[in-house]
A and B are shown apart, each in its own frame.
Chain A
Amino acid sequence: MKLTPKINLDNLLEGCKAGDRKAQELLYKQTAPKMMVVCMRYARDRMEAEDVLQLGYIKVFGKISEFRGVGSLEGWIRRIMVNTAIESYRRNLRMMNIVPITENEEQIAADFDFSRMGMQVLLKLIQGLSDGTRVVFNMYVMEGFSHQEIADSLGISAGASKSQLSRARAILKQEIIKMEGIDYATYTG
């Protein structure tokens, strides 16, 4: 049950630009739960995700006067969160463990119902990927970056980005197939 009433974000924008603390709090409570999902996809665990979220909102409130109203405010905040997560990854500079992909990867049936798994289960599977693979997967699949953009952003080659994406898909499919006969309601990862 969501207790926070839905408020038009544009109404909060002016208050946030003026540094009004109440407006900042309302904007945070309105948008942060969605942004937490983004951060959780990029992070290994909840603690890391919360750090990224806090860093992201510090940037949001610091730069909100630069928001010109092109596109939605939520989309702008989301881009800041993704950039913060990528920066966090680059700062930690985790090693991209490129492992050769097995060609005989298993396939998921076309009629497989993803909704049976739920977001939390998928989130666990994504967090289980290695750091480099997870970042590439998120940037390509979830955010829609091209391989060249990913390569430029992470300082790797486009080919390395492609192979990381293939690896991510293969691992996720494998895990989903394993779980096909499992009661997902009781799955905790």
Chain B
Amino acid sequence: MQHIQDKEFDQRLRDQFENEEIQLSANSWSDLERVLHPQSKRRTSYRSRWLAAASVLLLSSLGVYLSSHTGDRVMSKERLALNNPVREEQTSVLEHNEQLNAEGIKENIPNKPADRNVNSVKAVAVLKADSEKNNIEPELQAVSLTPEKDEIILSSLQPSSEIARHVDNQALYKPEKLAVLQVRNEVISDTDNEIEDTQQQRGIRNVGDLVNYVVDKVDKRAEKILKFKTDDDNSSLIAINIGMLKFNQKKQK
């Protein structure tokens, strides 16, 4: 039998590979393109990443906003009642007292404010209205509403009333008003500080607190990318700052 020679063997092998092709993987060109044109690809990928991140943030914040303003409202009331029954009691007592006060004021309107009790009731009503706005401690209201403890209020108002008497002796109610304003200013500034302190002390109670915490750590700008109002157990979105898109509920007010 005749055997194949080396040269012929080589030629036959060469022929087997002539014009042959091997199909490449689908992403073969895109892989090479990424190496050949790295800058343009990187720019588009950064842009798409930012867009994706912004859309995720928007969607998540929208979800939190919607959930906090619909289904959670009832739940949060129940949660409040469960978590803080004392506050609930105080609220109901205050509501009752407010009714009594309103009746008292109504009854005394024709007689004009001649007696001190009525004055104190009015002062307390003003204080109470302010305190409701600024979350003043309810104990102060509870104390001031009891007739026996009117002296406490008057004693606390004493220095202001003396000054006011020097200014205008004719005005019967001015001392109380001045005192009330003075007390109110002090209370407002104290309350602002208290709100800041309590925000730091109370920790993370809901999603809004969590988002605020994370954003504070990540975003060092004055106007954060997202800010939630978390005064109560519900949280609501009050500020967005994503480059072109800015929204600040506080500023709008």
Interface residues of A (CB under 8 A from B): 2, 21, 24-25, 28-29, 32-34, 36-37, 40-41, 50, 53-54, 57-58, 61, 107-112, 114-115, 117-119, 122, 141-142, 169, 172-173
Contacts and interface: CB of A to CB of B under 8 A. Distances in A.
Contacts of B17: 37, 41, 119, 122, 142
Interface residues of B, number: 29
Interface in B24-43: 24-25, 28-29, 31-33, 35-37
A142 B10 CA distance: 8
Contacts of B15: 114
Contact of A141 (B3, B14, B23, B24): B14
B243 to A, nearest CB: 30
A142 B14 contact: yes
A107 B4 contact: yes
| 4 nearest CB pairs, A to B | A33-B21, A107-B3, A36-B22, A110-B2
Q: Main SS of chain B's interface residues? A: helix
A109 B16 contact: no
B115 interface: no
Nearest to A34: B21
Contacts of A114: 12-13, 15-16
Given A33-B21, A114-B15, A119-B17, A109 B4 contact: yes
A117 B9 CA distance: 14
Contacts of B139: none
Given A21-B37, A109-B2, A169 B9 contact: yes
Contacts of A107: 3-4
B4 A112 contact: yes
Given A21-B37, A28-B32, A110 B3 contact: yes
25 contacts: A24-B33, A24-B36, A29-B29, A32-B24, A33-B22, A33-B23, A33-B24, A36-B24, A37-B21, A41-B17, A50-B28, A57-B32, A61-B36, A107-B4, A108-B9, A109-B1, A112-B4, A114-B15, A117-B16, A119-B20, A122-B13, A141-B10, A141-B13, A142-B13, A142-B17
Nearest to B19: A34
A113 to B, nearest CB: 9
B16 A54 contact: no
Interface of B: 1-4, 6, 8-10, 12-17, 19-25, 28-29, 31-33, 35-37
A75 to B, nearest CB: 13
B22 A21 contact: no
- In this complex, the member of B15, B16, B31 whose beta carbon has the largest number of chain A beta carbons within 10 angstroms is B16
Contact of B28 (A32, A34, A108, A122): A32
A112 B24 CA distance: 31
A108 B32 contact: no
Contacts, number: 81
Given A24-B36, A29-B29, A109-B1, A34 B20 contact: yes
Contacts of B35: 54, 58
B16 A119 contact: yes
Nearest to A2: B21
Contacts of B21: 2, 33-34, 36-37
B29 A40 contact: no
Contacts of B23: 33
Contacts of B3: 107-110
Contacts of B25: 50
A28 B8 CA distance: 33
B22 A169 contact: no
A111 B1 CA distance: 10
Nearest to A122: B16
Given A24-B36, A33-B24, A58-B32, 12 more contacts: A21-B33, A28-B29, A54-B31, A107-B3, A107-B4, A108-B4, A110-B2, A114-B15, A117-B16, A118-B16, A122-B17, A169-B6
